[in-house]
Structure 1
Amino acid sequence: MPGSLPGSRPGSLPGSAPGPIPARRPVRARAPARSRSMSRFLIGPFATPMAMFLLTFALILAHQGRLLEMTFMPMGCAVAYWLYRRYPAHYLSYVCWLFFLTPEVRRFADFFNGAFNSTSIIMMTPFVAASLCGISMVLNYRQLGQRRAAPLIMLLIAVAYGYVLGVAQFGIVPATYTMVGWVQPIFIGWYIMQNWRLYPQFRQVLFKTFVWGTILMGFYGIYQYVSPPPWTIFWLAQSGMESSSGSPVPFGMRICSTMNSAGPFSMTMMVGLLMSIASPSKLKIAAGIAGVPALLFTAVRTSWGAVVIGLIYPLAMLDVRSRLRLIMAILLFAGLCTPMLLIDQITAPLAKRMATIGNLSEDNSFQARQGFYTNFASIAEESFAGHGLGSTGLAAKLADPHAQIIASLDSGVVDIVWVLGWGGGLLYVTGLVALLWRAFLASLARPGDRFAISVVGVAIAILAIMVMIDTMQGSSGMYFMFGVVMPVIGVRYSREQQRRNEAIARARRRRRA
């Protein structure tokens, strides 16, 4: 510094003894970005789920099917609870992956056990893990009286009514088994609503989850179609699903990939493709290459139509630039999958399946559903009060064999009326419509949010095909909740950010004045 003597401390007077030099605070070396990201990976929300899946894989390689069946559910629920408490966005991703992969784990366990277990406890893991969100509803029960929670309360009251009826007629076990599938989407919706401040994380994590899930499950499904693995062959033969899933031979089966059957897998591929198209990631090209053929190989025409329904809404709501990008992505997906149509073994069954869409008079599935609706009208009039949870689906196997039950219903609308009656069914449907209407208004408020608009399209598609299949339980019910709650919390988060920015701007103006 000018005016100071050599060797003197800056700021000291000339000729004076130099004062003590203050000790400098040690400067910590900043870790490289790569090491920081690696440390976050090792101690963050990826390490524990990855350790669980690696342990599961090790048990599979060791042919410890019995041990895997006993330990998978406790491990899965423990990891889910840890993520639920610390990483809400990754908790939702983890639950999605449990729905994606748990049926395949069950097949491995049965295959290496050498015996098929029709009531494997492994299959309850994703439902129980997703139902942990109910803890949030219990802890925040005072917020249940808010207006934004009214649609979810309608659903919860209707399900509670059905549960009371089910316990009275079929017992606690069948009613509780069914109730888990019904309330799990409601709990998911409430959990997302409570963590609305994490909307950017939800959007980012769910985009990655469905893009990667579509890639992995899609390619595995293609492999399953071309060369069915032995555990899939064993499972189809022992479960008695060959009549609906086809023969487990190359090019002869309706694929289910890692999921339980072609129906849930096709629904997941439909959601994954719609999410991938809206994703900013370049991996959406790989998702299209894997997802489109996999969806076609399921031979589930309802999901084919759901993709079309789910695309209509984004095409109508997006701005011109985003709409053109969406159209280009659709054309790209179609173009990349065109070469497979040159293979006769692939083209023949697909053409035969597609031909039934335009000829409903010869469509056995459609005729069966039409006859079912006709015959069920008189039954529904006689069951005004409903039959309760546990009267349909897999829970019917746990009920009294002499009770009046229906093993399965091919329509979500009919299932709601049969289980909940006319009063409970009306309350349940009103809640669903209210959720969808709020999501529609929220997407109108933010036309630039491609994620929100794409998930509303998913919700519309899922609700539209309820006349054909039951879509409000399990994984499809969770996807519906993503579609109707995410746009709403997106608007709330955007408004909160806008208010905060305005408050900061006012504070700065006051300081300057």
Structure 2
Amino acid sequence: MTAHSMDHPIAGRRRQIKLAVPVSLFFVGGFWAIVLLSCSAGLTGPARYFYTPLAFMVAAVLFVRFPAAYLVHVWWLWFLTPFVRRVVDFHSGWTEFSPIMLAPYVASLLMIVTLIRFLPRLNQRDMFPFAPILVGLGLAYPIGIMNAGFSPATFDALNWFLPVIMGIHVAFSWRSYEKLKISTEQVFLLGAAVVGGYGIYQFFFLAPWDAFWMRVVQMDSIGKPAPYEVRIFGTLNSPGPYADMLAASLLVALGAAGRLPWLAGMPAVVALLLSLVRAAWVGFAAGLFLLLAKMDMSKRAKLVAAVVLTIVSALPLLSIEQVSNTVTTRLETMVGSEAKEDQSYKDRVHFFQTFIVDALSNPFGMGIGATGVATKFANNGQMGEHGVVDSGLLEVPFVLGWLGGILYISGVALLVRSAFTRKWSKHDGFATVANAVALSVLVQMIFTNTLTGFIGTMFWSFIGFAIAAERHWADKADQADRADRVSGSARGVPSR
């Protein structure tokens, strides 16, 4: 075998990875160009109805031909769809149930094809924990239909099922791991720059569509619809998911190389602080701790330097009086006597004391659709009694019941344990970042349910990346071992 023929597969993989960038620019960039031009031309009315079908058509093409670009498309839909909805509603009138918001869901539905295709392989050791999770959710769906109704249960099923299916899709796409890894890293870095930068702009110059949306939804917890008085939510619908996206992006940036991480890090740090989401701050700290713990001394020193330089680069913005006062006031509520006097802390303690009986008293659970945004379907567009549940740890048994909750929690525990005890991918920096992102999301379950909806897609997809990385590097090791045996046989050396 010649050196040229040996290098050919590697060269082919490099060409494929490079190809993913123009494909993403053509399809994903083309989609957003159409949306932007339509809104700029005053065609927000038609955009309300063509946005989701067009997003699905682009997703279908990419899903079949370009898996890395498909994942990029799905991520951008999650990042920017709420922003598009606000712009459209501002110019064309408010609608409680906007078809625009379905775009990331319908694009993600294509991953059910992966689930159906590989369903028999869920009995494999690293994939088996997904089985009890799907069974637990499957048991809760019909109960949700009976208790909440078909529409609330079906809508909420998307929030519970699709993130899990996305994790399965990424895990079974391990043969494209390198392309998926590079694309995901790039989309989170660019996303941090765009979404983080917009959030900072939002703090200083609140856009009219954002102020309009705040007045309509009357979400008092995110401040007042005025500059300097808003808890920024960027291009998303609320500060929580926005902060978690930025925290994940920062962890990705700290594990990446090149100039883009530095450009993304500065706005992400400032925007994360201005979101005032303490749970996301705690989650980021947990993820950062894991990165430090998993790295060797040389990489650990580089990581510390990266953290310091990112903070230093953000100092000009953090030193602005309005920014520093806002962040400092929030930080004071996390330490000392101020923490216990904080109204949010008191409300959360009261919620735990009163809700724990409801969460654990029903062995069958209330079913999918009993909590969250889904409660609006049966409550004239307003959040129902359990529209906001301030603890993911309690929401799981409340929705899934005893059996479903045990199946779901045990599956999550097995996946996390296997991700943190991997063998082959321990020297892969992105695999370590994937574990850090998953941990940063998981530790926030005490505050809210971070395993569903947009935040859930980050947890499950990065768990999928941890599995895909392990399979990828195990396959590389097997290939190297086979090559050694073939080489040894050619030289007359007995195989082991």
TM-score by length of 2: 0.91
Say which of 414, 420, 428 aligns to 2:408.
428
Tell me the amino acid that sits aligned with residue 168 of structure 2.
W
The residue aligned with 1:450 is 429
Alpha carbons of 1:385 and 1:246: their partners in 2 closer, same or farther (altered >3 Å)?
same
Q: Which moved more, 1:156-165 or 1:168-177?
A: 168-177
The residue aligned with 1:346 is 323
Alpha carbons of 1:506 and 1:269: their partners in 2 closer, same or farther (altered >3 Å)?
same
Which structure has more relative contact order (CA 8 Å, sep 6+)? It is: 2
Q: Distance in 2 between matches of 1:448 and 1:508?
A: 26
Superposed displacement of residue 126, structure 1:
0.7
Tell me the amino acid that sits aligned with residue 411 of structure 1.
S
Question: What are the equivalent positions in structure 2 for 1:34-73 lying under 5 Å apart?
Answer: 44-73=23-52
The answer to whether the 8 A contact 1:166-1:390 is kept is: yes
**Structure showing greater Rg:** 1
The answer to whether the 8 A contact 2:140-2:404 is kept is: yes
Question: What are the equivalent positions in structure 2 for 1:249-328 lying under 5 Å apart?
Answer: 249-328=226-305
Find runs of 4+ consecutive structure 1 residues off by over 3 angstroms. 39-43, 444-447, 508-513
Tell me the amino acid that sits aligned with residue 122 of structure 1.
I
The residue aligned with 2:371 is 392
Tell me the amino acid that sits aligned with residue 337 of structure 1.
A
Q: Distance in 2 between matches of 1:169 and 1:329?
A: 51
Tell me the amino acid that sits aligned with residue 173 of structure 1.
S
Q: Distance in 2 between matches of 1:84 and 1:422?
A: 37
Residue deviations 1:165-203, cap 9 Å, x none?
011222221110000010111111111121111111122
Tell me the amino acid that sits aligned with residue 58 of structure 2.
V
SS in 2 for 1:116: coil
Q: Distance in 2 between matches of 1:180 and 1:381?
A: 24
Alpha carbons of 1:40 and 1:196: their partners in 2 closer, same or farther (altered >3 Å)?
closer
Question: What are the equivalent positions in structure 2 for 1:227-266 lying under 5 Å apart?
Answer: 227-241=205-219, 243-266=220-243
Q: Distance in 2 between matches of 1:511 and 1:152?
A: 44
The residue aligned with 2:96 is 118
Q: Distance in 2 between matches of 1:446 and 1:40?
A: 25
Alpha carbons of 1:496 and 1:52: their partners in 2 closer, same or farther (altered >3 Å)?
same
Alpha carbons of 1:222 and 1:400: their partners in 2 closer, same or farther (altered >3 Å)?
closer
Q: Distance in 2 between matches of 1:42 and 1:489?
A: 21
Alpha carbons of 1:40 and 1:205: their partners in 2 closer, same or farther (altered >3 Å)?
closer
Superposed displacement of residue 507, structure 1:
2.7
- 2:461 is the alignment partner of 1:487: no
Q: Distance in 2 between matches of 1:476 and 1:397?
A: 20
Superposed displacement of residue 44, structure 1:
2.8
Residue deviations 1:358-399, cap 9 Å, x none?
122211111111111111122234322100111111111213
Tell me the amino acid that sits aligned with residue 70 of structure 1.
Y
Q: Distance in 2 between matches of 1:362 and 1:192?
A: 44
The residue aligned with 1:21 is none
The residue aligned with 2:160 is 182
Aligned residues between the structures: 474
The answer to whether the 8 A contact 1:438-1:484 is kept is: no
Question: What are the equivalent positions in structure 2 for 1:132-171 lying under 5 Å apart?
Answer: 132-171=110-149
Superposed displacement of residue 128, structure 1:
2.0
- 2:200 is the alignment partner of 1:222: yes
RMSD over equivalenced CA pairs, Å: 2.1
The residue aligned with 2:8 is none
The residue aligned with 1:104 is 83
Superposed displacement of residue 94, structure 1:
1.4
Q: Distance in 1 between matches of 2:373 and 2:19?
A: 42
Superposed displacement of residue 283, structure 1:
1.2
The residue aligned with 2:108 is 130
Q: Distance in 1 between matches of 2:166 and 2:188?
A: 17
SS in 2 for 1:149: coil
Alpha carbons of 1:441 and 1:40: their partners in 2 closer, same or farther (altered >3 Å)?
closer
Superposed displacement of residue 214, structure 1:
0.4
The residue aligned with 1:24 is none
Superposed displacement of residue 298, structure 1:
0.5
Q: Distance in 2 between matches of 1:488 and 1:366?
A: 37
Q: Which moved more, 1:66-75 or 1:86-95?
A: 86-95
Percent sequence identity is: 30
Tell me the amino acid that sits aligned with residue 167 of structure 2.
G
SS in 2 for 1:46: helix
Alpha carbons of 1:319 and 1:43: their partners in 2 closer, same or farther (altered >3 Å)?
closer
Superposed displacement of residue 41, structure 1:
7.6
The residue aligned with 1:211 is 189
- 2:417 is the alignment partner of 1:440: no
The answer to whether the 8 A contact 2:360-2:397 is kept is: no
Superposed displacement of residue 350, structure 1:
1.5
Residue deviations 1:287-314, cap 9 Å, x none?
1111000101111111111111111111
Say which of 453, 463, 474 aligns to 2:442.
463
Superposed displacement of residue 105, structure 1:
0.6
Q: Distance in 1 between matches of 2:245 and 2:208?
A: 24
Say which of 46, 49, 73 aligns to 1:94.
73
The answer to whether the 8 A contact 2:52-2:102 is kept is: yes
Q: Distance in 1 between matches of 2:103 and 2:333?
A: 37
SS in 1 for 2:378: coil
The residue aligned with 2:350 is 371
Alpha carbons of 1:339 and 1:143: their partners in 2 closer, same or farther (altered >3 Å)?
same
Alpha carbons of 1:43 and 1:210: their partners in 2 closer, same or farther (altered >3 Å)?
closer
The answer to whether the 8 A contact 2:189-2:253 is kept is: yes
Q: Distance in 2 between matches of 1:217 and 1:404?
A: 30
Tell me the amino acid that sits aligned with residue 415 of structure 1.
E
The answer to whether the 8 A contact 1:100-1:258 is kept is: yes
Q: Distance in 2 between matches of 1:341 and 1:405?
A: 39
Q: Which runs of 5+ in 1 are unaligned?
A: 1-35
Tell me the amino acid that sits aligned with residue 110 of structure 1.
D
The answer to whether the 8 A contact 1:439-1:485 is kept is: no
Residue deviations 1:208-255, cap 9 Å, x none?
1111110111111111111111111111111212x1211222211111
Superposed displacement of residue 91, structure 1:
1.5
The residue aligned with 1:356 is 333
The answer to whether the 8 A contact 2:52-2:99 is kept is: yes
SS in 2 for 1:256: coil
Q: Distance in 1 between matches of 2:66 and 2:210?
A: 34
Q: Distance in 1 between matches of 2:22 and 2:296?
A: 41
Superposed displacement of residue 50, structure 1:
1.7
The residue aligned with 2:310 is 333
The answer to whether the 8 A contact 1:391-1:405 is kept is: no
- 2:136 is the alignment partner of 1:196: no
Tell me the amino acid that sits aligned with residue 124 of structure 1.
L
Alpha carbons of 1:451 and 1:40: their partners in 2 closer, same or farther (altered >3 Å)?
closer
Superposed displacement of residue 149, structure 1:
2.3
Tell me the amino acid that sits aligned with residue 346 of structure 1.
V
Alpha carbons of 1:448 and 1:147: their partners in 2 closer, same or farther (altered >3 Å)?
closer
